[in-house]
A = this chain, B = another copy of it.
Amino acid sequence: MSRSGADLALLLLGGFRSLVDAATAELARRGYEDVRPVHDFAMRAIAAGADSASELGRRLSVSKQAAAKTIAVLQEHGYVERDTDLLDARRKRLRVTPLGFEVLRQGEAIFDELRDQWERQIGSEELANLERHLTALVGARPIRLNAPGWIAQDLGEPV
């Protein structure tokens, strides 16, 4: 029963949304409401060294204005802070706060737990295979999480 290409695409999306919706819901259940995948993704990039709005934009393949908006939200939530750069007066240096790191840490734990569930379901070897092949197919192409609007707005049941 060879599936169609469109089915394949839907399947991949379904997998992604399963994980992400579950993770977002669980994060909300733990008290971190209003954390969306975009935020997690952005914080990760900041923590990894994207310490200015422009740089963050570049890393996420998004305009610097869009990055600035995301940063504003993260700042409101207290997940990142901005202070002026002493070396370059144009920049505002970004810093993930302890609270932000806490979210990051918990998010990671949740995702890992979900991955473990999958592993138990189809077997560790098969999951590794799946990841390996997907990696080969997607290649090194940067993944744009962000497109206008989107991703995990309504949440299903908690994990």
Contacts and interface: CB of A to CB of B under 8 A. Distances in A.
Contacts of A134: 11-12, 14-15, 130
Contact of A11 (B110, B129, B138, B151): B138
A128 B2 CA distance: 8
Q: Copy number of this protein in the oligomer?
A: 2
A20 B152 CA distance: 18
A5 to B, nearest CB: 3
A112 B8 CA distance: 9
Interface stretch (A47-55, A68-76, A139-147): A139-147
Nearest to A143: B14
B149 A148 contact: yes
Question: What is the predominant secondary structure among interface residues of chain A facing chain B?
Answer: helix
Given A108-B5, A134-B130, A154 B147 contact: yes
25 contacts: A3-B131, A4-B111, A5-B111, A5-B113, A5-B116, A6-B40, A6-B108, A8-B115, A9-B111, A10-B145, A11-B135, A12-B12, A12-B13, A12-B15, A12-B134, A13-B16, A13-B145, A14-B134, A15-B134, A17-B144, A144-B154, A147-B152, A148-B150, A148-B153, A149-B150
